[in-house]
Chains A and B, each alone.
Chain A
């Protein structure tokens, strides 16, 4: 994946957030402050504007750091600092590389999860975005260990994030505003886990589009990438 692929990933996230904005807000209305969809949409609109204005030769790491800083400065609530840190840490992990393969992406995802957990102190089962992010990273790592490619690893992460998202429904929240509701938080899907799953779906989509483009470019080589 290169900078163009990162741009198309972020663009895909923005499109999906636009489509899911009301759904996310609806989820949040049940157990939070009814602003998650609006916050995420506003944040990503700002991200796309700043990423669009970034230098053409900006590296993937720089783009993610721009996204992170934009999030921290434009999104309120818990989403701003949490997603902002996730993108900043991921960008940091990618360094100055002009492109990256699955192993560097794994480092970026690890750094993102660490950043989120440092700020939010949440573990799997607390009914937060970590319930989607942590299993997604686990599936990504497993796929790489089994010799998978960027496409199969991101697709595994997408599945695991969606499973983790659905698994938040029966949980009682132990972190965040929803935890104030105690047992009343049971039976509702966590909005943060939902937006995280959306980002992994967009990532898998971007990785797949990236591969098709490489093939359309005429390079007739086997599927397994670096």
Chain B
């Protein structure tokens, strides 16, 4: 490991985890480094526009090059690129917002978000990170992980986000079995009060899980006394179509049976 690269990465992460700007002294204290060291690293990062200094306060924040890198990450995400059309179609058919996510550690990272097509003001949630056990996307993916991967996540911290979040291992195991049996994962206000989700896993040519696509919206519309059958069908169809495009063989897609 190159020490200075590691330190520079920690500086960027520190600046990215705070909306407030940080001064050299604060950063040095937080990272346990000498002020001169931090100053040198900041100057180098600034030369590459990865950080910038506020002229009035002298404090540092992330620079414009970070946005380009973030966008490049999303653009290079093959799943996101391939999902654009399917996600748009699903949102139009279901009249609800669509999320596409991948598993990063114990969290689902949203790589694509299509707004509910009703002209209402909504916030782009791309980049949001949601604990896997609290959302439909996460449960849809984890249900198809191999035994070790699944066991690790089931053993990990399972924070409670609402009164309905499943935080017991046995309950989640039963939930994952239900996902495999039914081909979709359902979230009933487990991440946000009043919000529900219906999602299905996405598979590549090796039959491995590479992500998930699903609907997110008000519980009364998505789960009117159980998951709305037409929405479940729409999610499954989108997942099947997208998996095929990602190379998953038709007969080999697990859980894709109608």
Q: A residues within 8 Å of B by Cβ?
A: 29, 31-35, 76-82, 117-121, 172, 175-177, 179-184, 186-187
Contacts and interface: CB of A to CB of B under 8 A. Distances in A.
B123 A31 contact: yes
Given A120-B193, A183-B18, A187-B19, A33 B123 contact: yes
Given A121-B160, A182-B129, 9 more contacts: A77-B218, A78-B194, A79-B194, A81-B193, A120-B163, A121-B162, A172-B19, A175-B161, A180-B129
A76 B118 CA distance: 16
A76 B110 CA distance: 24
Interface size class of B (residues with CB under 8 A): 20 to 34
Given A76-B220, A176-B192, A33 B19 contact: no
Chain A binding surface, main DSSP class: helix
Given A78-B194, A119-B162, A32 B220 contact: no
Contact of B163 (A31, A118, A182): A118
A118 B122 CA distance: 27
B161 A121 contact: yes
Contacts, number: 72
A183 B121 contact: no
A82 B163 CA distance: 11
A33 B125 CA distance: 11
Interface of B: 16-20, 110, 120-123, 125, 128-130, 160-165, 189, 192-195, 218, 220
B193 A82 contact: yes
25 contacts: A29-B121, A29-B123, A32-B123, A33-B120, A33-B123, A34-B120, A34-B122, A34-B123, A76-B194, A77-B195, A78-B192, A117-B163, A120-B162, A121-B162, A172-B19, A175-B161, A176-B192, A177-B123, A177-B195, A181-B125, A182-B128, A183-B16, A183-B17, A183-B18, A184-B19
Nearest to B128: A180
A72 to B, nearest CB: 10
A81 B123 contact: no
A119 B165 CA distance: 10
Nearest to A29: B121
A119 B19 contact: no
Contacts of B189: 81
A121 B128 contact: no
B120 A119 contact: no
B194 A181 contact: no
A80 B219 CA distance: 11
B199 to A, nearest CB: 16
A33 B129 contact: no
Given A78-B193, A82-B193, A180 B130 contact: yes
B194 A35 contact: no
A181 B165 contact: no
